[in-house]
């Protein structure tokens, strides 16, 4: 595996920036907000401290300790797969490199919370007409934007967005 000219270093830098932004904003939320006491920012947006022991949309939130460790293991495996993918991607497949860096950073950001607290810190709460979107955080945004960007990358980059395979 050739790392020189691969997307590994740029992808890891993007992931690190996301982890730092995510952890900074979550620590701020934990110190500035009180759980179950939303702060209205606009008529459709609140800052609201929530600890989510599950995954997206509180999936496995009631699973207990085994759910926490299952989600932790899934995040570690996905993270390792993304690192391997980045190492095999050419650096000029920058849409894919950015996308994978975003997903990796988001996964690591939420993994840190899961290991530190047993739950993920969420604090961004959008709502409309009494209906609330599940609260989320910077890591969640990075994962969603990264996943959408990865889909776009497959159309823009074509073969460059796939890891290099053995060539003779």
Catalytic residue among 22, 113, 125, 140: 140
Q: Is 113 a catalytic residue?
A: no
How many structural domains is the chain composed of?
1
Residue 19 forms part of a structural domain? no
Residue 80 forms part of a structural domain? yes
Q: What is the pLDDT of residues 99-134, one digit of tens each?
A: 999 999 999 999 999 999 988 999 999 999 989 888
Residue 50 forms part of a structural domain? no
Domain containing residue 148: 56-125+132-160
How far, rounded to the nearest angstrom, does the alpha carbon of residue 65 sit from its chain's CA centroid? 21
**Is residue 34 classed as helix, strand or coil in its secondary structure?**
strand
Q: What is the pLDDT of residues 65-90, one digit of tens each?
A: 656 678 788 889 999 999 999 999 99
Q: What is the pLDDT of residues 19-67, one digit of tens each?
A: 999 999 999 999 999 999 999 999 999 999 999 876 554 555 555 565 6
Catalytic residue among 22, 113, 122, 125: 122
Q: Is 140 a catalytic residue?
A: yes
C-alpha span between 133 and 147 (Å, rounded): 19
Question: What DSSP state is assigned to residue 164?
Answer: P
Instruction: Note the pLDDT of residue 73.
Output: 86
């Amino acid at each position: 595996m050739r790392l020189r000219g691969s997307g590994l270093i740029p992808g890891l830098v993007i992931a690190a920036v996301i982890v730092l932004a995510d952890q900074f904003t979550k620590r701020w939320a934990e110190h500035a907000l009180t759980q179950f006491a939303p702060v209205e920012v606009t008529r459709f947006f609140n800052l609201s401290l929530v600890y989510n022991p599950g995954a997206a949309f509180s999936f496995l939130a009631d699973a207990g300790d085994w759910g926490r460790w299952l989600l932790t293991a899934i995040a570690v495996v996905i993270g390792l797969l993304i690192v391997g993918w980045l190492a095999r991607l050419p650096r000029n497949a920058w849409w894919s490199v950015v996308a994978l860096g975003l997903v990796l950073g988001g996964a690591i950001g939420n993994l840190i919370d899961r290991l530190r607290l047993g739950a993920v810190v969420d604090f961004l709460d959008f709502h409309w007409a009494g209906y609330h979107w599940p609260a989320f955080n910077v890591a969640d945004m990075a994962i969603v934007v990264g996943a959408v960007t990865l889909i776009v990358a497959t159309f823009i980059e074509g073969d460059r967005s796939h890891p290099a395979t053995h060539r003779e």
